[in-house]
């Protein structure tokens, strides 16, 4: 079976993990946590990094530190992972959705301003599958209405928007280092910000809001979202090769595109002139007129020993939110179509060129 995604390790991860064990620093108290925060923040071009236990916790922390009040709204794409909307709901806020843009599959920035109300507090653009959101219009709207921009950059380590790294544009950004992300710590996440005050609040929030001067006295609610020194050690080792990982992703994507170009009925990923796409996942979209959806294609590929994963299902189609009275009767046609017609092909860092060729040949056979 050709796996959908696999991380790439060297002896360096093992070496640094052994250092944790030998030194006894296995919790969040160890030195690799700060080192990983500093390395990753400076790579992304942001002042502060606050490491947390996963990307979902990073989003939750971002919503906590802007002090979202009950009933306040955060605008986000429908087409995303549930972590975004859940972060808002957990703080009694209301996620407000916009549709996806049909080629980059990112939120359609033309729909954002119409969704603003007096209760809007933030916009949460989600860079999708490696491609940046068109950030200038988002920043302009946020400036006009005095809103926070929280970038979900969990899928775009190293990607660029007009020469700036994704995750360095909004006031806050959130990353994940789950096993399938561009660099991994197994499970892990980070909140980045240039704002000293937001960084301090995020550090307190991830550590139960202990107060340095009066340890077991709490004035604000916090969470235990700490990252361990073990996780951070893996992160530090992974950071030594992040540029190489991004190059592998881009190289594999270019090969896919070369081999798949011209097959009728398949839409391939794009790279806007202002974007550096890191192709976290190489997604394809089946034309809805060819009478095959992503589920059937995934079955055909699986029968040929090729792993795939479906695209996200829109937030407005999730029973969990309908049961909370959210998004009832709302329609986002692009999100609905790409959820059914999209899947991603094997995109791991260990993928061989012969495997990419095998996937492309299988696709040609199935499609003709
Ligand atoms: C992976 C991912 C997350 C969640 O990260 P976890 O570490 O799995 O909690 C959030 N947002 C996006 C866009 C993701 O792809």
* Residue pLDDT, tens place only, 182-199: 999 999 999 999 999 999
Q: How far is CA 222 from CA 64, 111, 304, in A?
A: 9, 34, 48
Q: Which atom of ligand 1 is nearest to the CA of 126?
A: 13
User: What is the DSSP code (8-state) at residue 327?
Assistant: S
In this structure, the answer to whether residues 201 and 263 fall within a common structural domain is no
User: Distance from the CA of 84 to the center of ligand 1, in angstroms?
Assistant: 9
In this structure, the answer to whether residues 120 and 77 fall within a common structural domain is yes
User: Distance from the CA of 195 to the center of ligand 1, in angstroms?
Assistant: 23
Residue 302, pLDDT score: 97
- Where on the phi/psi map is residue 251: left (φ > 0), alpha (ψ -120 to 50), or beta? alpha
Residue 33, pLDDT score: 98
* Residue where one domain finishes, among candidates 239, 271, 299: 239
Chain center to CA of 217: 35
* Residue where one domain finishes, among candidates 239, 261, 279: 239
The three-point CA angle 240-153-357 to 5° equals: 70
Task: Confirm whether 229 is domain-assigned.
Answer: yes
Residue 215, pLDDT score: 84
Residue 250, pLDDT score: 98
Q: Which atom of ligand 1 is nearest to the CA of 128?
A: 13
Task: Confirm whether 90 is domain-assigned.
Answer: yes
- Rounded CA-CA distance 71/362 in Å is 50
8 Å CB contact between 345 and 364? no
* Residue where one domain finishes, among candidates 209, 239, 269: 239
Task: Confirm whether 276 is domain-assigned.
Answer: yes
Task: Confirm whether 3 is domain-assigned.
Answer: no
Q: How many domains does the chain have?
A: 2
Query: Among 155, 191, 311, which is best to mutate for testing ligand 1, by the most ligand atoms less than 8 A from CB?
Result: 155
Enclosing domain of residue 78: 11-239
Dihedral in degrees, nearest 10, Cα atoms 37, 81, 141, 116: -130
User: Does the C-beta of 126 come closer than 6 Å to ligand 1?
Assistant: yes
Give the CA count within 13 Å in the CB-facing half-sphere of 208.
Answer: 8
8 Å CB contact between 152 and 127? yes
Handedness of CA 88, 149, 316, 186 (dihedral sign): negative
In this structure, the answer to whether residues 229 and 248 fall within a common structural domain is no
Residue 213, pLDDT score: 85
In this structure, the answer to whether residues 265 and 234 fall within a common structural domain is no
The enclosing domain of 218 has a CATH number of: 3.40.640.10
User: What is the DSSP code (8-state) at residue 200?
Assistant: H
| pLDDT tens column, 276-288 | 999 999 999 999 9
Residue 226, pLDDT score: 98
3-state helix, strand, coil in the chain (%, to 5): 40, 20, 40
Reading the block at residue 80, the tokens are: 């995303």
Residue 271, pLDDT score: 98
Residue 240, pLDDT score: 98
Q: Residue ranges of the chain with pLDDT lower than 70?
A: none
Q: How many residues does the chain have?
A: 368
Q: Which atom of ligand 1 is nearest to the CA of 127?
A: 13
Q: Which residues contact 237 (CB under 8 A, 6 or more apart)?
A: 9, 10, 12, 13, 15, 16
Residue 211, pLDDT score: 84
Q: Which atom of ligand 1 is nearest to the CA of 180?
A: 1
Q: How far is CA 349 from CA 119, 165, 244, 263, 305, in A?
A: 43, 21, 10, 25, 18
DSSP code per residue over 214-282: BTT--SS---B-PPPHHHHHHHHHHHTTHHHHHHHHHHHHHHHHHHHTT-TTEEPP---TTEE---SSE
């Amino acid at each position: 079976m050709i796996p959908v995604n696999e991380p790439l390790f060297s002896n360096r991860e093992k070496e640094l993990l052994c250092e944790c064990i030998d030194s006894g620093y296995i919790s969040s108290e160890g030195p690799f946590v700060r080192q990983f925060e500093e390395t990753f923040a400076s790579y992304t071009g942001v002042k502060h990094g606050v490491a947390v236990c996963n990307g979902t916790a990073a989003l939750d922390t971002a919503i906590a530190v802007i002090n979202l009040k009950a009933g306040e709204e955060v605008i986000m794409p429908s087409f995303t992972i549930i972590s975004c909307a859940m972060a808002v709901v957990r703080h009694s806020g209301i996620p407000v959705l916009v549709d996806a843009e049909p080629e980059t599959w990112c939120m359609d920035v033309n729909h954002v301003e119409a969704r603003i109300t007096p209760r809007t507090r933030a916009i949460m653009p989600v860079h999708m599958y490696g491609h940046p959101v068109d950030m200038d219009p988002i920043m302009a709207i946020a400036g006009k209405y005095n809103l926070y921009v929280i970038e979900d950059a969990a899928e775009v380590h190293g990607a660029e928007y007009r020469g700036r790294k994704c995750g360095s544009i909004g006031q806050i950004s959130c990353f994940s280092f789950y096993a399938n992300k561009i660099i991994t710590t197994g499970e892990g996440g980070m909140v980045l910000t240039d704002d000293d005050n937001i960084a301090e609040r995020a550090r307190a929030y991830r550590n139960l809001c202990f107060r340095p001067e009066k340890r077991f006295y709490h004035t604000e609610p916090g969470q235990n979202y700490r990252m361990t020194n073990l996780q951070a050690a893996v992160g530090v080792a992974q950071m030594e090769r992040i540029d190489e990982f991004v190059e592998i992703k881009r190289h594999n994507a270019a090969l896919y595109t070369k081999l798949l170009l011209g097959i009728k009925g398949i839409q391939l990923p794009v790279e806007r002139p202002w974007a550096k796409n890191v192709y976290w996942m190489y997604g394809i979209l089946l034309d809805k007129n060819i009478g095959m959806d992503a589920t059937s294609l995934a079955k055909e590929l699986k029968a040929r020993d090729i792993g795939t994963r479906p695209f996200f299902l829109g937030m407005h189609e999730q029973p969990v939110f309908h049961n909370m009275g959210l998004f009832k009767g709302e329609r986002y046609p692009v999100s609905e179509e790409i959820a059914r017609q999209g899947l991603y092909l094997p995109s791991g860092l260990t993928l061989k060129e012969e495997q990419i060729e095998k996937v492309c040949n299988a696709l040609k056979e199935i499609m003709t």
